[in-house]
Structure 1
Amino acid sequence: MECASQKNQEFPVFLLSVRIIKAINITSRDSLSASDCYVTLSLPTATQEKFRTQTIKNSDSPVWNETFYYRIQPEIKNIIRLELCDDDPFSKDDSIFIVYFDVTRVQPGDTVLELFCFRPEREDCYKHECLEVEFRLAASSGSAEQLISNGVLVARELSILEVKIDEVENKKLLRAKKTMVLTVQESYEGTQKTTKGLNCFRFHCVKNWEPILKVKLQGVESTGGHDSNYILIVPLKCLPVGQEIKLALPTENGEALELNLQVIGWPQDLDVRLGYKLCAEEQDFLCKRKKVVADALSKLFYLRRNLLEHEVPVIAVMATGGGVRAMVALYGHLLALQKLKILDCITYITTASGSTWTLTDLYQDPDWSHRSLGPAIKTAKTRILRSKWDVISIDKLKYYRKQLDERVEKGHPISFATLWGLVQASFLNDKPNCRKLTEQRKALNEGQNPLPIYTAINVKDKYVSTFEFREWIEFNPYEVGFQKYGAYIRTEDFDSQFYMGKLVKRFPESRICYLEGIWTNIFSRNLLDGLYWSSSPEEFWDRWVKDMAEKDEEHNLKDGYTTVYKPPCSSSGNLCEIFNDILTDRPLKGANCNFLEGLEFTYDYLYKNKFSEWKDTVFDSFPGKLTPVEKSLCLIDVGYFVNNSGPPLLKPERNVDVFIAVDYDCYNIFKQTEMMSKYCEVQGIPFPKINLTEEDRKNPKECYVFSDEDPKAPIVIYFPLINHTFRDYKAPGVKRMPKEMCGGDITINGEDSPYATKHVTYSADNFDKLLNLATYNVLCSKELILQSIEKAVQKKQTSGL
């Protein structure tokens, strides 16, 4: 399977047999008697059902010789979980050890005998606790399976069952205090029940799992524990595809209840775009934008001829986060770029956290970059100057409650991030904000403005720290998606329900304020995040690089497979788990529908270049712990890993030549760009090294240019928020008069700074100073910017790329 684009192919299904033979030298966990052992088997890529052997009583070397069968698809990554347990009738069963075995080790026609030892590093395994298992893979008589893949993720062929009950008959059931319960255990939906106004149902199931429909009648007030007799059991494979079948079901009063069943053929046009190429809309935008950029460069450099398409460099503005400070400063930077006639040379603008507020304001105007930014800045200033205490008034609280209730009625999940989005919208706007991200397409339809990209990271909601697991996700007016997985959905479908790449239930598009609640959720960190930011960042990077090296060494094993052993829990282990919960839980997190749910991984996904480029978490070698298995996404502010919006620009498909990096960190100048450079170095992504002197750190200049000998590395034009000349100069080369010195007296860092991230209200004087500082930095650096762009043009012309 290729990794470049989505491909649809048919592959045979195989039969895997797993024979649990015996265990050896098992030490009893209760110390009162010999072990009562059993083994559980779980292979979620083949079935949701968990199998279990019988329990062998009072034996330290139990023998089972029990065989279990799975119909598997070898083209996907099949990891079977085996757990050896000690049965305890008086308390929770003890886990002796757990094995994760990669079925790729077993080739068709082979029989593989494995001895899993609790201490696999010991030379003589038979002297220690171990489990003997035989695996056999044979061709299956079943039909082949359709797969759609981008080389990393796989969408499997679905059976979509539609069930209808007559509306009148449904009303009769409800009047009789009865409800029909429909269950397809193997489906995305699981169990559904008839209710008032709901008498048509769909079930989405993996066809290869041979799903079964079970129907029963149940009293409305019943708990479900006694009324469990099914009046209908139908394997879906028995139903003809595309043909409606009518069945008459008996009821208690002797009447027949009619049910209409139809299996719908699997539509192979997925609603999740699996592919690493840019979407068609973005490619169309780029064609139009290149003409705008070429014309702007021609005027800027007085060129005798317009640049050819391949000679036009891709220039991007990359902003960091920083609350209102970032919002105001980004206005200043864009204003200066506009004055220098460079804004029309920009193709992308990426933002994080507070800098996203600037773009969501500007893109209300479809032609904003060609108009004076003065009115927009004046409006932003008015909002930032006014008091924010009314955001928690009784009327506002009632308004939030009403909005949340309406969102629930529409089917959307809600969380603290949803409420936070409403609160933010209140202190950033004078009236309710009903805008949507897709409305920004109007500002792109002629390539008239740069393409805005908003960033977040997906993390685990608990048990795992941000530094062990986080994945970049981008939002733009066209798509939302993960560059690591090469999986994207249309922006208007974000927060709708998906399964196996198909849209299961569409909800109305979320207002942009709810997205801002994700991008700027400053309350979503856990205690480990806080401990990290209170320590030296160099410590984290050293540890992270070491972990990456150890992970690669651990999982690049011979024969391309991995077996992982997990020791049993102990009392101290349980205590550690409790502390881990406290450290990693995110009490004020968000929850969004996971559009990757159900998708599988190819058997060799780890070795695909596109995936490897973004493979940077401890779980990347364990597909059963990655995002497609989760019910929901946990999206948070990027600032809890790298407070930088650059990763979407690092996609080779975007081929960015020049980064204009604007940094709003007020405590550690250069930190965010240095972290991005280090991140790219570890990941093997071309990016220049950030070389600085001690003088640079003590007295930063207005602008720095970083480049690299690697022709694939972009040129980085870096603007720190602080510089050492603004205090004495009000404009490039124009010194302040004595009475104007107060205009340069600006304190960015420190707890008493009016620009601290916690402050959401500024005075008029502080607003103007920050805006002028950001504008000054860029205006002072005109020659450096033009030289860098000219160098990028020359590189394009000589390379022909």
Structure 2
Amino acid sequence: MQNGNGVILGSGGPGGEAFSPGQAAGGRGEEEDVFSPEQNGGLGINKDERMFVYKRLKRAKDCLAENGIECHEFVPRIALIGSGGGKRATVAFLAALEAFGESNLLDSILYLSGVSGSTWCMASLYHDGRDWCSDQTAVTKEIIDRLGGKKLSWAKCGERLKEYYKQADHYNLTHFWSAIAVTTWIKDLDTTLLSKQTDVNGRVPYPIYTVIDKNCKQQLEGSALKGPWFELTAHEARYSLFGPPAQQKEFGSMFKNGLIVKQMPEMDMLYIQGMCGSALADAQLLWRLLKEGIKEWLPGQSRPSWRLALETLVDINSLASEGKDYSRHVQRMNELLAGKLDKSRKCLILDPKFTKAELEDYTLVFCECFSDWYESDRDSGESDVVRVDAWIWAKILASTLKCVKTWKWGTTYNFLHGRSKEDNTSVQEVVPSLLTTETRDYIDAGLLLNSPYFSVLREDRKVDLVISLDFSDGDPMMTVEEAKKMAMEMKIPFPDFPVKITSEDRSKPKDFYAFQGDRKIPTVIHMPLFNKVNCDKDIEVWREKYKTIRATFDRYNPEMIEDLKQKSKENVQKNKDRLLDEIKEIIRLRQNQLRFTGLHM
């Protein structure tokens, strides 16, 4: 039997009869299957996650007992979430999890969810479905050594980009970003699959990767507020707050009315990390990477006209993105395109007085005509193999250039395309266009909210405690404030703030904030990375030292990584007792609820 948000154990108390997998799913006693997706139009946690919850909560019960907390009737569901923050978040989240392990608290965590840089940490930990909790010290060392090591070669990253380009029906900037930029931060080409990150024995927390639907982000009002939040697990890809899921293995395939009409390869973890961590991208950085790509990937000594045209146009756009004068390149570009006609049979002429929009149009026309113009004269005078490879790279670079100008990210086939309105009323109420559009664009969730609250605040997950580790740049209280505001607008339970957040909380935050819930509202604990406890008076020094800088990829040397690790670990180690006190209070409230309602057996 169950009640509240957690799981009620058997009536025998400690050592008594164990709870059932069905009870691990429900959360409302005799209505234990109310959140079964089979009975609720696709809403609810799936049977694989329900079985995981059942196994994991048994571990949580034992973990809490080892910390002096006996769960006679109720085991709380605890979610640990990490904010975005680039490589700072990757290292800090990894260190915090190590501290949870060393403090013997890790097995109490049911769900682990991240945004942006925190997902890079998760992907490394869960690599190919390994049991990282059993050998956490060794796994952590392996990841830290890699993060502080040498970056991957352009050639190796380029080969992965080439594979993406060949496989993709909708090539976009996420392919380029994943292969070229994310690899520079994480020093890895992770081609493993999320569907392999399964754990039937509950040995590790259940991982949830989060992004948002870019199309939904642009219409945030009324019921559409629930629209953007999207999550990926080993079992499913789905909108967190409404609608039916797709199997993770099938996410990215082409659907019509719930059926696959074109099977696509499952997304690898490198691409998922690029999708989760795209907020760091800006046009200047992408132009810089394109310039490097032309030098690295177009082989040989010769410089055919199509290569010169690509190089010159990238230089022009790079200068324009920085507000610099590009007039010195205009004559050369016009000479290179002399006699070339666009699809309307007009000459393409570059004017140094072009507005930003006119330069954008010019660039898009160039990209659209590139293959037609140069297919016949692409012979560079070198071997056939070199010519073919160079031409593939030319097309990839031209396609990427076009994506930069249209800002095309995360374009993926829409698994809800063509489903009926009658059978998908929740979708129709929130985002009707999901039933009619063939593709959707998925991007970094940090562009809307830099912490994955709504993946763990799903009603069907019945989470009792959310521990939020905040690694954000800037205001350390913004994520929790924004989460509360959005939750209230969507009528999702979220605890009140007992006192007003002050200017000092923003400039010199504490290391631990507890916003207590009640019998129906989860408790939220918020822990800023740099605070007045672990940094004393030097908070701004630490913030500046680890500031997110888009244009600088690899400025974290081993010493910086180790210092950051220690700061993050301190926050957990010094607050272990406070964390346990909050867990005790949650259990007290829930058990009182059982006795009050007469459901205690």
Task: Return the alpha-carbon distance in structure 1 between the equivalents of residues 567 and 209 of structure 2.
Answer: 24
Give the C-alpha shift of residue 590 in structure 1.
2.2
Q: Is the 8 A contact 1:425 1:433 kept in 2?
A: no
Q: Which residue of 2 aligns with 1:465?
A: 218
Q: Which residue of 2 aligns with 1:784?
A: 578
**Superposition pairs of residues 170-319 of structure 1, within 5 angstroms:** 274-301=41-68, 303=70, 307-308=72-73, 311-319=74-82
Task: Return the alpha-carbon distance in structure 1 between the equivalents of residues 502 and 187 of structure 2.
Answer: 46
Q: Which residue of 2 aligns with 1:641?
A: 448
Change (3 A) 1:768 1:728: same
**Structure 1 or 2: larger strand share?**
1
Q: Is the 8 A contact 2:81 2:114 kept in 1?
A: yes
Task: Return the alpha-carbon distance in structure 1 between the equivalents of residues 85 and 563 of structure 2.
Answer: 16
Task: Return the alpha-carbon distance in structure 2 between the equivalents of residues 603 and 302 of structure 1.
Answer: 45
Matched residue SS, 1:277: coil
Change (3 A) 1:483 1:702: closer
* Structure 1: tracts of 5 or more residues without a match: 1-268, 528-577, 730-743
Report the number of matched residues.
436
Change (3 A) 1:590 1:786: same
**Superposition pairs of residues 131-142 of structure 1, within 5 angstroms:** none
Q: CA RMSD in A?
A: 3.3
Task: Return the alpha-carbon distance in structure 1 between the equivalents of residues 161 and 503 of structure 2.
Answer: 53
Q: Match for 1:595 among 415, 428, 435?
A: 415
1:224-266 CA-partner distances (Å, limit 9, x unpaired):
xxxxxxxxxxxxxxxxxxxxxxxxxxxxxxxxxxxxxxxxxxx
Matched residue SS, 1:369: coil
Change (3 A) 1:299 1:473: same
Q: Which residue of 1 aligns with 2:164?
A: 404
Q: Is the 8 A contact 2:531 2:539 kept in 1?
A: no
Change (3 A) 1:513 1:753: closer
**How much identity, in percent, do the aligned residues show?**
26
Change (3 A) 1:329 1:523: closer
Change (3 A) 1:794 1:401: closer
Change (3 A) 1:715 1:426: same
Give 4+ residue runs of structure 1 displaced > 3 Å after superposition.
428-432, 464-470, 523-527, 602-605, 752-760
Matched residue SS, 2:133: helix
**Superposition pairs of residues 79-228 of structure 1, within 5 angstroms:** none
Change (3 A) 1:656 1:603: closer
Change (3 A) 1:703 1:431: closer
Q: Which residue of 2 aligns with 1:323?
A: 86
1:288-346 CA-partner distances (Å, limit 9, x unpaired):
1111111111111153xx534xx110000011111101100101211111122111000
Q: Is the 8 A contact 1:497 1:593 kept in 2?
A: yes
**Superposition pairs of residues 716-735 of structure 1, within 5 angstroms:** 716-727=524-535
Give the C-alpha shift of residue 524 in structure 1.
6.8
Q: Is the 8 A contact 1:642 1:675 kept in 2?
A: yes
Task: Return the alpha-carbon distance in structure 2 between the equivalents of residues 480 and 604 of structure 1.
Answer: 17
Change (3 A) 1:280 1:471: same
Q: Which residue of 2 aligns with 1:569?
A: none
Q: Which residue of 2 aligns with 1:652?
A: 459
Change (3 A) 1:340 1:656: same
Change (3 A) 1:695 1:281: same
Give the C-alpha shift of residue 585 in structure 1.
8.4
1:515-565 CA-partner distances (Å, limit 9, x unpaired):
1121111267899xxxxxxxxxxxxxxxxxxxxxxxxxxxxxxxxxxxxxx
Q: Which residue of 2 aligns with 1:771?
A: 565
1:23-46 CA-partner distances (Å, limit 9, x unpaired):
xxxxxxxxxxxxxxxxxxxxxxxx
Change (3 A) 1:497 1:721: same
Q: Which residue of 1 aligns with 2:211?
A: 456
Matched residue SS, 1:760: coil
**Superposition pairs of residues 438-517 of structure 1, within 5 angstroms:** 438-441=195-198, 444-460=199-215, 465=218, 467=220, 471-517=228-274
Q: Which residue of 1 aligns with 2:96?
A: 333
Matched residue SS, 1:453: strand
- Alignment of 1:706 with 2:526, yes or no, is no
Task: Return the alpha-carbon distance in structure 1 between the equivalents of residues 573 and 148 of structure 2.
Answer: 26
Higher CA-based Rg: 1
Q: Is the 8 A contact 2:508 2:539 kept in 1?
A: no
What letter is aligned with 2:478?
K
Q: Match for 2:435 among 620, 625, 628?
A: 628
**Superposition pairs of residues 344-743 of structure 1, within 5 angstroms:** 344-364=107-127, 366-373=130-137, 375-386=138-149, 388=151, 391=153, 393=154, 395-396=155-156, 398-408=158-168, 412-424=169-181, 426-428=183-185, 432-441=189-198, 444-460=199-215, 465=218, 467=220, 471-522=228-279, 587-602=407-422, 605=425, 615=430, 620=431, 623=432, 626-690=433-497, 691=499, 692-708=501-517, 710-727=518-535
Q: Is the 8 A contact 2:41 2:424 kept in 1?
A: no
Q: Which residue of 2 aligns with 1:760?
A: 553
Change (3 A) 1:401 1:312: closer
1:248-285 CA-partner distances (Å, limit 9, x unpaired):
xxxxxxxxxxxxxxxxxxxxx99xx9411211111111
Change (3 A) 1:723 1:397: closer
Greater relative contact order structure (CA < 8 Å, 6+ sep): 2
Change (3 A) 1:431 1:771: closer
Change (3 A) 1:796 1:757: farther
Q: Which residue of 2 aligns with 1:550?
A: none
Give the C-alpha shift of residue 689 in structure 1.
2.6
Change (3 A) 1:416 1:330: same
Task: Return the alpha-carbon distance in structure 2 between the equivalents of residues 488 and 478 of structure 1.
Answer: 9
Task: Return the alpha-carbon distance in structure 1 between the equivalents of residues 102 and 159 of structure 2.
Answer: 41
Task: Return the alpha-carbon distance in structure 1 between the equivalents of residues 455 and 539 of structure 2.
Answer: 36
What letter is aligned with 1:292?
R
Change (3 A) 1:798 1:745: closer
Task: Return the alpha-carbon distance in structure 2 between the equivalents of residues 495 and 477 of structure 1.
Answer: 14
* Structure 2: tracts of 5 or more residues without a match: 1-36, 285-356, 362-403
Q: Which residue of 1 aligns with 2:391?
A: none
Task: Return the alpha-carbon distance in structure 1 between the equivalents of residues 187 and 472 of structure 2.
Answer: 28
Q: Is the 8 A contact 1:383 1:428 kept in 2?
A: no
Task: Return the alpha-carbon distance in structure 2 between the equivalents of residues 781 and 504 of structure 1.
Answer: 52
Give the C-alpha shift of residue 676 in structure 1.
0.2
Give the C-alpha shift of residue 717 in structure 1.
1.1
Task: Return the alpha-carbon distance in structure 2 between the equivalents of residues 282 and 313 of structure 1.
Answer: 16
Give the C-alpha shift of residue 795 in structure 1.
2.1
1:400-436 CA-partner distances (Å, limit 9, x unpaired):
453134424xxx5321111222224532565642211
Give the C-alpha shift of residue 684 in structure 1.
1.2
Matched residue SS, 1:634: strand
1:442-492 CA-partner distances (Å, limit 9, x unpaired):
xx210111100000111229xx83756751110001100113432101101
Give the C-alpha shift of residue 681 in structure 1.
1.2
Task: Return the alpha-carbon distance in structure 2 between the equivalents of residues 512 and 604 of structure 1.
Answer: 30
